[in-house]
Structure formats: structure tokens, C-alpha cells
Amino acid sequence: MARRPTGRRIGRREDFPDGTSRKFTLRCRGQSLEGFVFGFNGELFAYLNRCRHIPLPMDWLDNQFFSVDEKYVVCANHGALYEPTTGECVWGPCTGAWLKKVPLKVEEGTVRAFCPDD
Ligand code: FES
């Protein structure tokens, strides 16, 4: 019997080349959560779209999460910069805090997102 896939399907691996990002929603413990996924250095990363300074969405323009130099995830509200591979805030009012990572799994080219731990 085929195993039923779990997690929320958010696209195909080829949908997220480096420098692209896209928001998605997850239903976790009865709550709707918004996350974003992006390609960076040949890998995929996903975090909740909630800044660690004030819990607001971070994209100013829809699905735009990167600094102009494309080195950092940026919060458009007050300019905090986050390291893309770890989610650590490295500049701004939340320095030292971490974005909440959304676990991803890629199976047969399909990308699925899972509820983050509390
Ligand atoms: S809300 Fe993100 S830096 Fe202030």
C-alpha cells in the first residue's frame, strides 16, 4: 500500500532556483501560519513570515524577502537583516534572535513544508 504523503505541498524543487521566494500557508495546531520558501546557494530554506522584532510579515512587496545585494533576508518594516541559511538576525533591532525555521522535505521533486516545532 502506498504511503500517503504528509506535509503541505508547496511546489516543485525546480520552482525555487536561487534568488526566488514564495509565500505559503500552513495549518498547524488549528492556526493558520504564513511561511516563505526560497532558494539560496543551491539549497532550499523556509521560515515563518514573522519578524523577530515585532511579529509582522516581513515582505514589503509581495514575495520580496531579499536585500538589494541578495545576501540577506530583510524585514521591510525596520530593515532587520537575517542570515539566509540559519535565520539569525545579524543586523537591526532583533540582532541575535532567530526566525522560526519551517522544516522542508523534497521527495521525487515535490517540496513539502511541515509545521515548525513550538
Ligand atoms: S518589524 Fe522587522 S525589523 Fe521591525
Predicted TM-score of the model (pTM):
0.93
List pLDDT tens digits, range 1-59: 556 567 999 999 999 999 899 999 999 999 999 999 999 999 999 999 999 999 999 99
Backbone angles phi, psi at 66, to 5 degrees: -105, 150
13-101 has which CATH code? 2.102.10.10
Asked whether 23 and 35 are in contact (CB, 8 A), the reply is yes
Q: What is the mean pLDDT of the chain?
A: 94
Q: Which atom of ligand 1 is nearest to the CA of 75?
A: 2
Choice from 78, 88, 98 to test ligand 1 binding pocket (greatest atom count within 8 A of CB): 78
Ligand 1 centre to CA of 95 (Å) is: 11
Q: Which of 105, 117, 87 is nearest to 8 (CA)?
A: 105
Residue 101 is classified by DSSP as B
